[in-house]
Homo-oligomer: A and B are copies of this chain.
């Protein structure tokens, strides 16, 4: 088990694009999602597939379990998530031993860009780059599980 401690922000500008170290394409869907846990299947760059269980409320910290699975299983499981899919391009910007993950969403979430940083403990200090906007860590609408069912395009 890993404890996922993560803070999430909107973006104030596009200046982050100059600092990108790495880029991946992600497709993911939610096979089930209830008040206790969510089960995500993710395919990265059409090459690797993972199952991820997250439990606990969508605050800053959640328990996370991740397992690599065969790509063929991943594709079959993704196909079962029709209507609950997320596609996004993830840009990684390393900052010391931490890393910003900047997700540029596609399809029904196009227009949404979110920056996340994974921390070792909830009150950990970290550098806030100029391109960082409003914090949305506590806002459940920005979880990917929620975006898969209530996409950004449907927000009013």
Residues of A within 8 A of B (CB): 1, 31-34, 36-39, 51, 53, 55, 63, 65, 67, 69, 73, 76-77, 80
Contacts and interface: CB of A to CB of B under 8 A. Distances in A.
Contacts of A55: 31, 80
Leading 6 A-B pairs by shortest Cβ distance: A32-B32, A31-B37, A32-B34, A32-B37, A39-B39, A1-B76
Contact of A37 (B69, B76, B80): B80
Given A1-B76, A32-B38, A36-B80, 7 more contacts: A31-B39, A32-B33, A34-B34, A39-B53, A63-B80, A65-B69, A65-B77
Determine chain A's interface SS by DSSP, over half rule: strand
Could you say which of A36, A51, A69, A76 has the most chain B C-beta atoms within 10 Å of its C-beta?
Answer: A36
A77 B38 CA distance: 12
Contacts of A76: 1, 63, 65
Nearest to A53: B31
A54 to B, nearest CB: 10
A76 B38 CA distance: 16
Contacts of A33: 32, 34
A65 B80 CA distance: 12
